[in-house]
Amino acid sequence: MDGLKKYLGLAALGLSMFGSALAYAQEKPASLGIGVFSFTSGATAAYGMPGRNAAELMIEQINAAGGIGGVPLKATYVDEGQGTEGVIADFRKLAGDAENQVMIAALSSGNCMALAPLVDQLKIPTVGWNCDTHQLFASEAHPYYFRPNGNTVPEFMAYALYMLSVKPDAKRIAIINPDYAFGHDAANIFKAALKAFKPDAEIVAELFPKLGAATFQTEISRLTAARPDVIFSNLWGGDLENFVRQAAPRGLFSMSQAVLALGESSLQNVQIPEGVIVGVLGDGWWNSPDAAANEETQKFAAAYKEKFGSYPVFPSMKMANSFLFIKKAYETALEKNGGKWPSRDEVAEAMKGSVVETFTGTTTVREDNDGVVDQIIGTTVKVEGFDFPVLGNMVRYSGEALMPPVGEDPIEWIGKLPADFPASLPQPGSYK
Amino acid sequence: MLQVLIPLTVDALANAAIIFFVAVGLTLVFSVLRVLNVAHGSFYSIGAYAAASLGLWVVSAGLPEWLTFPALVLSAAFVAAIFGPFVEHLLIRWTYGKSEALQILVTFGLFLILEDLQRIVFGVNSLYEDTPMRLLGSTMIGGIVYLNYQLLLIALAILTLVGLKLMISHTRMGKLIAAVVADREISQALGINTNRIFMLAFTLGVFLAALGGALATPTTGVSPGLGADTMVLAFAVAAIGGLGRIEGAAVAAIIVALARVLAIYYAPELDAVAPYLVMLVVLLVRPYGLFHTDTTRRI
């Protein structure tokens, strides 16, 4: 009899625990776990840390305002500097924990490509906060992967168009990009745009030093020997800073028009001279005319400066905008659920086709989950109030105008654009 | 023709200079201790971190900027003094006469420890200190602007090569090292303190690696992972020149650098593999390196 009582007691306890678990699943969690992936070590941390810093600040600010739907955010940060294998292992571990409902991954295009099959398999809504390669959605659909920050096609077409506007007579072009998907994609898009709009341009040197190369001295000699009118580069992070430190004293920037596609992210770290074409791979300059007019953006930038001692750079803004994107998705899903906490699937559903007002503009998610954002490009200029050059002679190209239709090969699409396409776009200096 | 030849030569020599410092240290340690030190690249990166840190301190303390030059050599000497005797005595000494596999495993373990130690001490972010490069300015050669600091590196590498050869052949210490290299047992029988020679040779090897790292800092950033990249290249150079050959390391450094420079100029896609293609070809033809002979002295 005692044994039966004991058995019934245990059964009752088990049932009550199961009931509690069911009830818990329908209630708001104690916190909303987010995995945040960025480079926080090595030379690439020069680019990745501002992103991580922005994540930290956004979480602080969102939590101070009551969290999302009353639930505070709780981040787990992952260093992409450990290599792709480690990134995949950490992603799998974090996604396997039910506390983590959404991922912000990753910075590197290579890591995003490696994570995409995992995102599909684990069905966790994931925001590619910085990865740019257009290949991510080119051949396969990834229903849980979203990239509100845009892709390489509009980004690097924009540079070619801007360069041709300010240097219409440039014929000899040199390229120095990192030796992986991002560098090669950018070179192909830049060359395709040149072929379409400046067919007599000649590529006189095309170099792909490995990511993380410590020295570029021979590459600088090679570029100098090629006597290019324009040098295009999408080096980034410590590589970009090393390149600028080594190239500037050797007169490379006074000899040729430099286009440093990711230059804005290094303006506060290294002395990029005036007159260099730089941009933000999207619309994420914290002090663009639109951002300057946005009170929330300026509050964020001031808080960032206060906390980290420097102004936010475009990786910071991409990360901050990714949080706004997630916040909007949760708010939409909560509203649709009548206030009930949404599942991962419901959050992913809310992200599909969303249009989000960010700190720096608007991001529109297409049917392939790629984001459409405007492209801001400018030329470095010194202005009062800043002890480093900022963007001047700016243009803001519409993201939609530079984005190939879903499913279309980008290189073929660029080749089919009419010769007068550049004339139909706004001109440098028009964005002020 | 001359317009291409001059920049090719200057670039190759400038590249070779830094590689030489690391490779000659590796080859010196191998010739004396008969240990292939996988951790050698870590001393390069520790030297680089130490030089960048000291240089940054000199600048931030408001001291005269020219002090950043002696700071480069001082940092390397400091690294060698701290790590050389300590590592040789506590770790390397126990591998003498043991199998190569054990020596490689022990030094690889040391490499992993030193890599983590650097992250703990110097952090994970890049350090930049380019004062010596700025102070020296630049020079136009063959229509291309070169940093005078690059030319200084070439001169320092030549001086180091000559200095090492003179040290080996004209000083008591050098002759003792040569004797130990020639025959360890007979040297011991003659009363030479071989343990002391091993420690000194290892410390000199650490100094050369650290000096290479220190001298590289004014033109580049220092970040985690630097040691591994350098180590692989130094191995290729030492293998091409013939392990244990000082002049071999110098010639091999120039060959490898020239291969890289030619690749960057004419076949950029081969840039990363060029040194190893050269190594492959050399080792197929001369398996013990270009300068190896059975009869010549092994240092």
Flag whether residue A219 sits within 8 Å of chain B, measured between CB atoms: yes
Q: Which residue has the tokens 């960010």?
A: A358
What type of residue sits at position B270? L
Q: Is A249 in the B-facing interface, judged by CB distances under 8 Å?
A: yes
> How many alpha carbons fall within 13 Å on the CB side of residue B71?
25
Residue of A nearest to B264 (CA): A219
- Residues of A whose CB is below 8 A from B4: 225
Task: Give the DSSP H or E segment for A78.
Answer: strand A73-79
A275 to chain B, any CB pair closer than 8 A? The answer is: no
Pairing type for strands A202-207 and A230-233 reads unpaired
Per-residue pLDDT for A25 more than 70? Answer: no
Average pLDDT, chain B: 91
Which candidate in B144, B149, B269 is best for mutational testing of the A interface (most A CBs within 10 A)?
B144
Domain A153-281+374-424 has CATH 3.90.1150.10: no
Note whether B221 contacts A81, CB cutoff 8 Å.
no
Which of A254, A360, A244 has its CA nearest to residue A312?
A360
Across the interface, of A208, A215, A251, the residue whose CB is closest to B268 is A208
Cβ contacts (< 8 Å) between B216 and chain A: which residues? 214-215
Interface test with A, best of B265, B266, B269, B276 (most A CBs within 10 A): B265
Question: Tell me, what's the pLDDT at B245?
Answer: 84
DSSP string, chain B: -HHHHHHHHHHHHHHHHHHHHHHHHHHHHHHHH----TTHHHHHHHHHHHHHHHHHHHHHTT--GGGHHHHHHHHHHHHHHHHHHHHHHHTGGGGTTS-HHHHHHHHHHHHHHHHHHHHHHH-SS-B---HHHHHH-EEEETTEEEEHHHHHHHHHHHHHHHHHHHHHHHSHHHHHHHHHHH-HHHHHHTT--HHHHHHHHHHHHHHHHHHHHHHHGGGS-B-TTHHHHHHHHHHHHHHHH-TT-HHHHHHHHHHHHHHHHHHHHH-GGGTTTHHHHHHHHHHHH-TT-TT--SSS---
Q: Is A83 on the interface with B (CB under 8 A)?
A: no
Of B11, B14, B223, the CB nearest to A43: B223
Contact status, residue A348 vs residue A390, Cβ threshold 8 Å: no
The pairing of strands A362-365 and A355-357 is antiparallel
pLDDT of residue B272: 85
Q: Note whether A246 contacts B: Cβ–Cβ < 8 A.
A: yes
Q: How many CA atoms lie within 13 A of A256 on its CB side?
A: 27
Confidence of residue B298 (pLDDT cuts 50, 70, 90): low
Contacts of A344 (CB under 8 A, 6+ apart): A101, A102, A123, A124, A125, A144
Which residues does chain A have within 8 Å of residue B220's beta carbon, measured at their own beta carbons? 214-215, 242, 246
* Amino acid identity at A314: F
Percent of chain B clearing pLDDT 90 (strictly above): 70
Q: Where are the domains of chain A?
A: 32-150+290-365, 153-281+374-424
Q: For residue A165, is pLDDT > 80?
A: yes
Please report which confidence band the pLDDT of residue A6 belongs to, taking 50, 70 and 90 as the band edges: low
Residue type at B191 in one-letter notation: G
- Cα B244 from Cα B252, distance rounded (Å): 12
On whether the CB atoms of residues A49 and A38 are closer than 8 A, the answer is: yes
Which residue(s) pair with B30 in the sheet? none
Would you call B229 and A214 a contact, using CB atoms and an 8 Å cutoff?
Answer: yes
d(CA A341, CA B29): 65
Fold of the A32-150+290-365 domain: Rossmann fold (3.40.50)
The C-alpha atoms of residue A307 and residue A320 are separated, in whole angstroms, by 15
How would you classify the pairing of strands A257-260 and A277-279?
parallel
Among residues B170, B159, B202, B177, the alpha carbon closest in space to that of B298 is found at B177
Report phi then psi at A93, rounded to 5.
Answer: -65, -45
Q: Is the pLDDT of residue A429 over 80?
A: yes
| Residues of chain A found within 8 Å of residue B264, distances taken between Cβ atoms | 207, 218-219, 222
Its sign, for the CA torsion A179, A182, A184, A186, is negative
CB contact under 8 A, A250 and B225: no
Classify residue A77 by burial, with Cβ atoms within 10 Å: 0-12, 13-18, 19+: middle
CB–CB of A398/A374 below 8 Å?
A: yes
Band (B184; pLDDT cuts 50, 70, 90): confident
- Report how far residue A387's alpha carbon sits from residue A269's, in angstroms, rounded to the nearest whole number: 11
Burial of A195 (C-beta count, 10 Å sphere; 0-12/13-18/19+) = middle
pLDDT band at A43 (very low <50, low <70, confident <90, very high): confident
Q: Of the candidates A40, A49, A225, which has its C-beta nearest B144's C-beta? A: A225
| A148, pLDDT greater than 90 | yes
Give the model confidence (pLDDT) of A288-337 as tens digits: 999 999 999 999 999 999 999 999 999 999 999 999 999 999 999 999 99
A262: exposed, middle or buried (Cβ count in 10 Å: 0-12, 13-18, 19+):
buried
If DSSP codes are grouped into helix, strand and coil, which group holds residue A291? helix
Whether A218 shows a pLDDT value over 60: the answer reads: yes
Do A238 and B223 lie within an 8 Å CB cutoff? yes
Q: Residue A176: closest CA among chain B residues belongs to which residue?
A: B268
Check whether A120 has a pLDDT greater than 70. yes
A&B contacts, CB < 8 Å? 101
Query: Average pLDDT, whole number, for chain A?
Result: 92
Higher pLDDT, B230 or A284: A284
Q: What is the pLDDT of residues B95-105, one digit of tens each?
A: 988 898 999 99
User: Which residue type sits at B5?
Assistant: L
Closest Cβ–Cβ partner in B7, B11, B124 for A42: B124
Q: Do domains A32-150+290-365 and A153-281+374-424 have the same CATH topology?
A: yes
CA distance A57 to A63: 10
The stretch A350-363 carries a mean pLDDT of 97
A196 closest CA partner among A37, A16, A415, A423: A415
Spans of all domains in chain B? 2-285
Average pLDDT over residues B172-190: 90
Distance CA(A352)–CA(A144), nearest Å, equals 9
Of B145, B219, B272, the CB nearest to A224: B145
Question: Residue with structure tokens 């130990």?
Answer: B180
Q: Return the number of other C-beta atoms located less than 10 Å from residue B197's C-beta.
A: 21
Model pLDDT for residues B40-94, shown as the tens digit of each residue: 999 999 999 999 999 999 999 999 999 999 999 999 999 999 999 999 999 999 9
The tens digit of pLDDT for each residue in A239-261 reads 999 999 999 999 999 999 999 99
pLDDT at A150: 86
Class of domain B2-285: mainly alpha
| A106 prior amide bond cis, ω within 30 | yes
Show Cβ contacts of residue B21 under 8 Å, excluding neighbours closer than 6 positions.
B157, B160, B208, B209, B211, B212, B215
**CA angle in degrees (0–180, nearest 5) for A171-A415-A279:** 60
In which element (H, E) is residue A206 found? strand A202-207
